[in-house]
Amino acid sequence: MKREHQETGAGGGSGYHVATAADMAGAKGKMTAAPSMGMEDDDCGVDELLAALGYKVRSSDMADVAQKLEQLEVAMASTAAAASDDASVLPQIASDTVHYDPSDLATWLDSMLSELNAPPPPLPPPPPVAAAVHHHHRFDVSTASAITTVAPLRPSDAYDFKPVPPPAAASGGRVVYGLDPQSEMIVSPRDQKRKRTCSPSSSSSRGAEAGRARGSRTEGASSAKPAAALPVVVVDTQETGIRLVHALMACAEAVQQENLKAADALVKHISVLAASQDGPMRKVAGYFAEAIARRIYRRRPLFQVDRALDSPALEDLLHLHFYESCPYLKFAHFTANQAILEAFSGCRRVHVIDFGMRQGLQWPALLQALALRPGGPPSLRLTGIGPPQSDQSDALQQVGWKLALLAKTIGVDFHYRGFVASSLADLESRMLVERDGNEGDRDDEGEEEAVAVNSVLELHRLLSRTGALEKVLRMVLAVRPRIVTVVEEEANHNGGTFLDRFTEALHYYSSMFDSLEGGGGQAADAGEEEEQQKHRAMAEAYLGRQICNVVACEGAERTERHETLGQWRGRMARAGFEPAHLGSNAFKQASMLLALYAGGDGFRVEETDGCLTLGWHTRPLIATSAWRVSAASAH
């Protein structure tokens, strides 16, 4: 037999060569044929042939050693056949097991036979790979390109990660994940044997006892330096957020260049990056990624099925939750109502035309304000316009009944009329001003009816059809209103290239989602907190539908064509209107509203050239303006 031991660097090991049973049988024959060459005493002599090879075997043990070598050869062959699905068993035994004591070959054979013949221990349960993949992502980032790539996980890369308690040196915004120490300690007895290590110096100092002290090698394995530890994964949420924005912009650029293959890859990458985010940014990125995906695959049947959910009833429901979750619509109603009240001052017959009736949330406050007016309330006529319902129900009539009951309760003469129209451009001016029966536009004293036209987040939808907005403004001009109140989103989602529109929408809706998250206020109890979360989730879905329309749709289908206050000034001026400055009362109303709503923290009301804007911190998000017929158009 020949023994070899070599040390290597990374990935190396030690090895040995075991002589076959045939070799030992031949050696045994030589020893029995010439006993005078090998030993002086059968009981204690040592064979000189094996001693020359470095192995000291007593003559009395030769037969037993030869028999055990044959058994070892058979056991190793059967182990190889049984472990065909684990090809690393025998090579690992050959590379990791070292025999350092040539004087005790018989004992070593006993240990090898007992190891190979022992039943395999049960394997430890596998780590929860799914949970690890859900909470951990490995990034392969190329610094030479703005587009980052994600390295796919290999089976060996899946580990059971869990958050490490934040150390004192950790900074805010950084999440550290490490290995579970217990997962490293799960080692089967067979694995322990394969991982034995032994230093030559320690074995030489033990002498003949080293071969018998087989447990010392296992003890050395527990105290030896462990295998190279996996690197700790540090996720910087701020850095990932920046990369997420860059990925969104790169994806929009790919869509604009009609590189749909690159856009598809980036959409998947955005989903991975968004998973490491929390709060509003994760939700915004999810909605924008979904919108881009719908744009890329807009011809798939799934997109057509989703469009069936775009019903007026669902839109009204989401609109109601948006009203409850944040102050934007309340701001719009308060400021517009204040402008209408001031325009109706001293009038005995007033008529309000609402371009977006929905649930009629704006008008109970106006009815109550008119009821408290000095000298008594005027006679109010309300004309509400809304889209047809998919279930053919008369939702506008139901809203009118509720308002009529309220008006009767507070003593206001009230008349209501509803118009169902798919678009405001389908209406005519005579339909808006005519009265029921033989009633005229003047009362017995000849006083003309004062008209106010109200539009809250409605006019921008007309920009999807060429000439529709101009037609509606001409219709408004024909009814000669005292006041026209216009509330619109303070954003430009209707001009420039797709990339410009995408960039503007990303900034706008990021601020909007941030305000939903940070401006909700503290709930008084668990029930109120649950109600707030419900309103917030539905409000996010309401904004998500807008994002989808801005990003995924084109042509007449893209109805969310928001424009800035400056752009509306130009359009209204060209249509024959001039600004009617909102008074100080409107500003006070808005300020009082914000004071009641979460203390107004984060929200800001500003006056700009007679118009009022409500924004989140420094970003204006919604604007209210008032208009009247210009002197030139009145003649």
Answer yes or no: do 364 and 463 share one domain: yes
Answer yes or no: do 263 and 352 share one domain: no
Q: What backbone phi and psi angles, to 5 degrees, belong to 115?
A: -70, -45
Mark which of 297, 323, 339 sits at the end of a domain: 297
Answer yes or no: do 256 and 376 share one domain: no
pLDDT for res 246: 92
Of the listed ranges 87-91, 339-343, 443-447, 502-506, the least confidently predicted one is: 87-91
- H/E element holding 432? helix 429-433
The token pair at 114 is 């007992």
The domain of 383 spans: 312-431+452-490+562-633
Cα distance between residue 347 and residue 449, in whole Å: 8
Our CA dihedral for 270, 274, 279, 283, rounded to 10 degrees, sits at 40
pLDDT for res 298: 73
Answer yes or no: do 621 and 481 share one domain: yes
Q: Give helix 237-256 / helix 280-296 axis angle, nearest 10°.
A: 20
Of the listed ranges 50-59, 217-226, 392-401, the least confidently predicted one is: 217-226
Q: What backbone phi and psi angles, to 5 degrees, belong to 233?
A: -90, 125
Cα distance between residue 335 and residue 319, in whole Å: 19
pLDDT for res 16: 38
pLDDT tier at 50 (50, 70, 90 boundaries)?
low
What are 532-573's pLDDT values in tens digits? 889 999 999 999 999 999 999 999 999 999 999 999 999 999
Mark which of 250, 269, 297 sits at the end of a domain: 297
Most confident among 37-46, 166-175, 382-391 (mean pLDDT):
382-391
Q: Given a cut of 50, is residue 24 above it in pLDDT?
A: no
pLDDT tier at 433 (50, 70, 90 boundaries)?
confident
Choose among 286, 320, 238: nearest CA to 509: 286
Strands 577-579 and 619-629: antiparallel
Q: Given a cut of 80, is residue 504 above it in pLDDT?
A: yes
Of the listed ranges 116-130, 212-226, 249-263, the least confidently predicted one is: 212-226
pLDDT for res 320: 94
- Evaluated on CA atoms 195, 201, 206, 207, the torsion sign reads positive
pLDDT for res 234: 44
pLDDT for res 392: 76
Cβ-based burial of 544 (10 A; exposed 0-12, middle 13-18, buried ≥19): buried
* Residue 131 included in any domain: no
Tell me the whole-structure pTM to 2 decimals. 0.63
pLDDT tier at 207 (50, 70, 90 boundaries)?
very low
What are 57-85's pLDDT values in tens digits? 676 777 777 777 667 666 666 655 555 55
pLDDT for res 448: 86
* Residue 260 included in any domain: yes
pLDDT for res 98: 47
HSE of 123, CA atoms in CB hemisphere, 13 A? 4
Residue 22 CA, distance from chain mean position = 68
* Residue 267 included in any domain: yes
Answer yes or no: do 348 and 469 share one domain: yes
CB atoms closer than 10 angstroms to residue 154: 8
Domain count, the chain: 2
pLDDT tier at 202 (50, 70, 90 boundaries)?
very low
Answer yes or no: do 376 and 470 share one domain: yes
pLDDT tier at 635 (50, 70, 90 boundaries)?
low
Answer yes or no: do 272 and 347 share one domain: no
Higher pLDDT, 473 or 590: 473
Mark which of 265, 297, 329 sits at the end of a domain: 297
- H/E element holding 526? helix 526-552
Choose among 509, 615, 518: nearest CA to 284: 509
Cα distance between residue 472 and residue 634, in whole Å: 17
Answer yes or no: do 365 and 328 share one domain: yes
CB atoms closer than 10 angstroms to residue 560: 22
CATH of the domain at 622: 3.40.50.150
pLDDT tier at 271 (50, 70, 90 boundaries)?
confident
- H/E element holding 612? strand 611-616
User: Per residue, what are the HEC states of 110-163?
Assistant: HHHHHHHHCCCCCCCCCCCHHHHHHHCCCCECCCCCCCCECCCCCHHHCCCEEE
Q: What is the mean pLDDT of the chain?
A: 73
Mean pLDDT of 427-443: 69
Q: What are the beta bridge partners of residue 418?
A: 384
CB 358, CB 316: distance < 8 Å: yes
* Residue 583 included in any domain: yes
* Residue 591 included in any domain: yes
Q: What backbone phi and psi angles, to 5 degrees, belong to 602?
A: 90, -30
CB atoms closer than 10 angstroms to residue 498: 16
pLDDT for res 190: 40
CB 439, CB 400: distance < 8 Å: no
Q: Show Cβ contacts of residue 71 under 8 Å, excluding neighbours closer than 6 positions.
A: 113
Answer yes or no: do 241 and 265 share one domain: yes
CA distances from 416 to 405, 432, 435, 590 (A): 11, 12, 10, 28
Q: How many helices (H) and strands (E) does the chain have?
A: 26, 12
Type of residue found at 509: Y
* Residue 266 included in any domain: yes
Answer yes or no: do 393 and 341 share one domain: yes
Q: Given a cut of 60, is residue 142 above it in pLDDT?
A: no
What are 364-391's pLDDT values in tens digits? 999 999 999 998 999 999 999 999 887 7
What are 436-490's pLDDT values in tens digits? 554 445 555 667 899 999 999 999 999 999 999 999 999 999 999 999 999 999 9
pLDDT for res 288: 95
pLDDT for res 495: 84
Answer yes or no: do 352 and 241 share one domain: no
Cα distance between residue 401 and residue 430, in whole Å: 24
The token pair at 363 is 């008008």
* Residue 160 included in any domain: no
Q: Given a cut of 60, is residue 270 above it in pLDDT?
A: yes
* Residue 627 included in any domain: yes
Answer yes or no: do 361 and 427 share one domain: yes
Burial pattern 271-285, b for ≥16 Cβ within 10 A else e, equals bebbbbbeebbbbbb
